[in-house]
Amino acid sequence: MFNTETILLGLLVFTCRCVDVSCGTMRTIAVVNGRILASFLLGLVEVSVWLTVISFLLPTIQQAPLLGVFYALGYSSGNVLGVYLERLLPIGNLTLRIFLAEKDIPVIDKIRAANFRVTAFEGKGRDGRIILLFVFIKKKNLRKVLRMIKEQESNIFYTVDYGGETHNNILTTETNSFWRNWKKSK
């Protein structure tokens, strides 16, 4: 049961499950965000790896039940890995909601000066007047915008949500990328 061959096969099963489940987790997130091609490709890899693992595992699980433990560990680890990888990948859009007190209003100009579009609303919070900002950004720009907020040396509250698709490309005031211009010329 605990021989070297079983352990090595178990590590292979664990690794393959990490790959297929992390692909499945990222695919689910891609589906929610409307990324069709990414959903398709991740689903293809996920099911291909899963079929390979399950076709190997089913005939051998009775002789080596320890492989089932590796299978389960790979599944659990793959979920965590998938979420972690999706957070690292700078793909997609985010909606940043920033709640400002009166003294923090200069942050608006700072974010706009960095070519991000900001929509501001006035409101009333627990401690008085607030300004609520909506900043729709590409995921890769999140750290840059958060750095601007944190430089304010204040306790600014913000939330980050997945932004989905955009209309009219209004994420920034910067010009379109090379690839987008090339695609339009076709």
Using the 3D structure, point to which of 67, 88, 109 is the last residue of a domain.
Answer: 88
- What does the alpha-carbon distance between residue 108 and residue 54 come to, in Å, rounded to a whole number? 54
Q: CATH no. for residue 97?
A: 3.30.70.120
Using the 3D structure, point to which of 88, 116, 134 is the last residue of a domain.
Answer: 88
Q: Does pTM surpass 0.85?
A: no
Residue 99 DSSP SS3: strand
The pair of three-digit structure tokens given for residue 83, joined into one six-digit string: 């979420």
In a domain, 128, yes or no: yes
In a domain, 182, yes or no: no
Are 11 and 56 contained in the same domain? Answer: yes
Contact 106, 120 (CB under 8 A): no
Neighbours of 36 (CB within 10 A): 10
In a domain, 58, yes or no: yes
Q: How far is CA 13 from the centre of its chain?
A: 26
Query: Of the candidates 99, 175, 165, 92, which has an alpha carbon nearest to the alpha carbon of residue 132?
Result: 99
Are 102 and 170 contained in the same domain? Answer: yes
Domain residues for the domain of 56 are: 4-88
In a domain, 16, yes or no: yes
Give kind and range of the element (H or E) at residue 100.
Answer: strand 93-100
- What does the alpha-carbon distance between residue 159 and residue 129 come to, in Å, rounded to a whole number? 19
- What does the alpha-carbon distance between residue 185 and residue 115 come to, in Å, rounded to a whole number? 25
Are 102 and 164 contained in the same domain? Answer: yes
Residue 128: CA count within 13 A, CB half-sphere: 3
- What does the alpha-carbon distance between residue 19 and residue 88 come to, in Å, rounded to a whole number? 16
Using the 3D structure, point to which of 61, 88, 115 is the last residue of a domain.
Answer: 88
Are 80 and 129 contained in the same domain? Answer: no
Are 79 and 99 contained in the same domain? Answer: no
* pLDDT tens, residue order, the chain (186 aa): 578 888 999 999 999 999 999 999 999 988 887 889 999 999 999 999 999 999 988 888 888 899 999 999 999 999 999 989 988 888 788 899 999 888 888 899 999 999 998 999 999 888 888 999 999 999 899 999 999 988 877 778 899 987 766 666 555 544 444 444 444 444
